[in-house]
């Protein structure tokens, strides 16, 4: 048996297949892939790896939409793979769980409708996550669909860290800091705890990619994070602005900007792309070499260092620093620059280890004389989602008379 973990976006679908051992323990994936070109009118391209072999193809399966064609081909592929385990459930990454969903849930009843009410809080992700669930419900009608939330890891945030300085009436309505990238942070934290006894102390995790955030954790639990009510807050990102003086938005409104124009600016036209005017891709900016590209890189790095200082101060020091995400895992220059600017804390990294850590493996890059450990942890959100689904369904197997109540367990 296995759990199929999926992450549905606006134009792509990432998937991985995780076998289950006896007792529901989730193993590393045996199948990894991504289908791109799922925008309306697009031509889906599927890239997957199974049994050490990589495959690529253009999907020509008939269907009304690109997503439907992709799902039809994926379903056939899963049946064609020799020796692949039988799928027990589908685990979906869902960015926002709001106040109601504190842990993963089986999608049933009014769950989707409740989650749709959060679309405006994560417009780049939430609508596509939920559309993915609906499509999988149709394509795999006999499999449980499990929603796994990026916000769940941050439910341990203390009130002082989660509340904005707004009237209490708004806080009670749910206007508060939620935090995101929780599936990634869950994986990073678990991995660090396996690798180092110091991870039980004060840990700063940096998930740096097209979406970027930091998370401070003490004793393995989130206590502060840079993203807030939405996935806009905190660090500068690929196309998102990160933290912005609210007065800028008031000014733009006075200039006649409406909601949709402001939303497009903040989510799709800012960040690395907006500052550079070239690209949201850090790799392309590194290769460009222009003054505009360097300005965007410098601003991104500065924001990581600045926000790191704030989170380190909130913990009263630091024992472990971990980099992850597409930029965090592969950009050795950025890691070196961030650690150099945090050098006043006593952090030292080994240049050779840092350069070699661009390979996809767990790597310790600190020197023996460093006051803290520094790690590069390739994240695996799919494995965490699969584990969440397996745990939830295993509970139902143990107590069949309560199976129908599983969909409500994570709702408050």
Structure-token pair, residue 328: 């965090």
Query: Is residue 14 annotated as involved in ligand binding?
Result: yes
For residues 406 and 109, the answer to whether their CB atoms sit within 8 Å is no
Burial label, 225 (beta-carbon count in 10 A; 0-12, 13-18, 19+): buried
Query: Is residue 211 annotated as involved in ligand binding?
Result: yes
Buried b (16+ CB within 10 A) or exposed e, 195-216: bbeebebbbbbbbbbbbbbbbb
Please pick, among 22, 47, 150, 380, the residue that the annotation labels catalytic: 150
For residues 378 and 32, the answer to whether their CB atoms sit within 8 Å is no
Distance CA 346, CA 372 (A): 7
Pairing of strands 87-94, 2-8: parallel
Query: Is residue 207 annotated as involved in ligand binding?
Result: yes
For residues 71 and 380, the answer to whether their CB atoms sit within 8 Å is no
Helix or strand run (H / E) with residue 36? strand 31-36
Query: Is residue 55 annotated as involved in ligand binding?
Result: no
What is the distance, to the nearest Å, from the Cα of residue 142 to the centroid of all Cα atoms in its chain? Answer: 28
Told to judge if 150 belongs to the known catalytic residues of this protein, a careful annotator would answer yes
Q: Is 342 helix (H, G, I), strand (E, B) or coil?
A: coil
| DSSP code for 26 | B
Query: Is residue 328 annotated as involved in ligand binding?
Result: yes
Q: CB 12: neighbour CB atoms within 10 A?
A: 18
For residues 206 and 308, the answer to whether their CB atoms sit within 8 Å is yes
Query: Is residue 329 annotated as involved in ligand binding?
Result: yes
Q: Is 191 helix (H, G, I), strand (E, B) or coil?
A: helix
Query: Is residue 281 annotated as involved in ligand binding?
Result: yes
Query: Is residue 326 annotated as involved in ligand binding?
Result: yes
Q: Which residue has the tokens 């499509």?
A: 135
Query: Is residue 282 annotated as involved in ligand binding?
Result: yes
Structure-token pair, residue 260: 């949709």
Distance CA 207, CA 326 (A): 8
Q: CB 325: neighbour CB atoms within 10 A?
A: 23
Structure-token pair, residue 183: 């599936």
- Binding region: 7, 14, 93, 207-211, 281-283, 326-330, 381
- Binding region for substrate: 93
- Binding region for ATP: 14, 207-211, 281-283, 326-330
- Binding region for Mg(2+): 7, 381
Catalytic site positions:
150
């Amino acid at each position: 048996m296995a759990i199929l973990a999926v992450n549905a976006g606006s134009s792509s679908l990432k998937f991985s297949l995780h076998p289950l051992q006896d007792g529901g323990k989730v193993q590393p994936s045996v199948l990894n892939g991504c289908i791109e070109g799922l925008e309306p009118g697009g031509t889906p391209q599927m890239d997957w790896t199974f049994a050490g072999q990589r495959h690529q193809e253009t999907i020509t399966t008939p269907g009304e939409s690109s997503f439907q064609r992709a799902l039809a081909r994926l379903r056939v592929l899963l049946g064609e793979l020799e020796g692949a385990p039988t799928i027990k459930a589908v685990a979906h990454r869902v960015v926002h769980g709001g106040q109601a969903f504190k842990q993963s849930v089986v999608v049933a009843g009014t769950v989707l409708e409740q989650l749709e009410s959060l679309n405006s809080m994560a417009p780049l992700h939430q609508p596509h996550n939920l559309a993915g669930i609906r499509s999988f419900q149709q394509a795999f009608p006999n499999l449980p669909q499990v929603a796994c939330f990026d916000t769940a890891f941050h439910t341990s945030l203390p009130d002082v860290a989660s509340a904005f300085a707004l009237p209490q009436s708004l806080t009670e309505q749910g206007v508060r800091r939620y935090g995101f990238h929780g599936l990634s942070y869950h994986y990073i934290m678990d991995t660090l705890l396996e690798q180092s006894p110091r991870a039980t102390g004060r840990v700063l995790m940096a998930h740096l990619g097209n979406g970027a955030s930091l998370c401070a954790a003490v004793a393995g639990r989130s206590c502060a994070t840079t993203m807030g009510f939405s996935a806009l807050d905190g660090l500068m990102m690929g196309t998102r602005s990160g933290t912005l003086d609210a007065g800028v938005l008031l000014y733009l409104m006075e200039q006649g900007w409406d909601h949709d124009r402001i939303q497009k600016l903040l989510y799709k036209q800012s960040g690395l792309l907006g500052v550079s005017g070239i690209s949201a891709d850090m790799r392309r900016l590194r290769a460009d070499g222009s003054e505009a590209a360097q300005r965007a890189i410098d601003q991104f790095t500065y924001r990581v260092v600045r926000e790191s200082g704030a989170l380190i101060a909130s913990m009263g020091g630091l024992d472990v620093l971990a980099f992850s995400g597409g930029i965090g895992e592969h950009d050795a220059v950025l890691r070196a620059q961030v650690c150099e600017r945090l050098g006043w804390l006593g952090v030292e990294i080994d240049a050779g280890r840092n350069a070699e850590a661009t390979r996809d493996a767990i790597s310790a890059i600190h020197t023996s004389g460093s006051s803290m450990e520094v790690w590069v942890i390739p994240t695996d959100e799919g494995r965490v989602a699969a584990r969440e689904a397996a745990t939830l369904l295993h509970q139902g197997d143990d107590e069949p008379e309560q199976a129908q109540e599983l969909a409500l367990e994570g709702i408050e």
